[in-house]
Amino acid sequence: MCEHSFSRGVVCARVLNRTIALSHCSRISLVVLFGAVHLIILVTIAIAAAGLAWGLRAGRLPANVVRLTFGYGLLVNELIWWAFRYSHEGVHLTNLPLQLCDMTLWVTVAACLFLRHSLVEFAYFAGLAGAGMALLTPDLWSPWPSYPAIYFFVVHGGIVAANLVLIYGQIARLKPGAPWRAAAMLVAYAALVGAFDAVTGANYMYLMRKPKNASLLDALGPWPVYLLPGLLVALMLFWLLWLPARGARPVRRTT
């Protein structure tokens, strides 16, 4: 699961106090799950991704420009976020960029910039499964439209849109066996992060405890029982994501 929200680490108390105070005296409010704001954001991401993919398939958009815009755009957005976050709370063991969506963000950037098959495969499956779930059930308490809340939807929406556009815009393609190779990479990364969690007491990828907000993990049992069915759910999601992508036509020219 993806823990890539404002609660990826507690950003400094004065920022929290300021946003909470604003939520009581202005139009800033929490994002209600599947409320108007949430649904508008989800629909906007879907329409943007579908429109870009259609434009690429129809030859109306230059593929290199689209993929590089996604790659560098996500890169700059992430650097700005981490500069903001660390300038307020400093660097410590529980706020390192080790969450699944941190990893898939950087792999998505690399996939857009370099189009290597292994990068595209991991970004597509882990990115859509992780960031997609985060968009549907955001672990978010920062009021809307504060910067952390906007960032949350921009980065997760960017991961989802970029990977959909890469595959369904025919910029890249997935080879046979792609979901299982991506799953193996995910397990390897989770093992490394789990070892770090165990040593430091952190909770990256929710491997040590569930998120406070409602999530799919709530239906999978207590810790550590939910870890195995969580992996099975991930494998099922990877397989479902593979079904529409496996029939994609060969990659189109990107020049």
Domain boundaries, the chain: 32-245
In one-letter notation, the amino acid at residue 133 is M
Is residue 245 within a helix (H) or strand (E), and if so which, with residue range?
A: helix 227-245
What's the rounded Cα separation, in Å, for the pair 144 and 211? 20
Angle in degrees, CA 177, 179, 159, rounded to 5 = 135
What's the rounded Cα separation, in Å, for the pair 6 and 212? 13
Residue 144: helix, strand or coil by DSSP? Answer: strand
CB contact set of 126 (below 8 Å; sequence gap of 6+): 100, 103, 104, 107, 182, 185, 186
What's the rounded Cα separation, in Å, for the pair 154 and 157? 5
Q: Which residue do the tokens 């979901």 mark?
A: 179
Residue 30: which pLDDT band, with cuts at 50, 70 and 90? confident
Q: Is the previous residue joined to 250 through a cis bond, with omega within 30 degrees of 0?
A: no
What's the rounded Cα separation, in Å, for the pair 145 and 142? 8
DSSP secondary structure code for residue 101 in this structure: H
**Tens of pLDDT along 54-67?**
999 999 999 999 99
Is residue 171 within a helix (H) or strand (E), and if so which, with residue range?
A: none
pTM: 0.84
Angle in degrees, CA 136, 232, 200, rounded to 5 = 80
What's the rounded Cα separation, in Å, for the pair 53 and 34? 25
**Tens of pLDDT along 122-181?**
999 999 999 998 899 887 767 888 999 999 999 999 999 999 999 999 999 999 999 999
> Nearest 5°: phi and psi at 177?
85, 0
What's the rounded Cα separation, in Å, for the pair 203 and 100? 11
pLDDT at residue 221 in the model: 83
Residue 246: which pLDDT band, with cuts at 50, 70 and 90? confident
The candidate with the shortest Cα–Cα distance to 108, out of 58, 21, 166, is 166
**Residue 157 · residue 45 · CB < 8 Å:** yes
- The pLDDT of residue 44 is above 60: yes
pLDDT at residue 29 in the model: 63
What's the rounded Cα separation, in Å, for the pair 76 and 104? 15
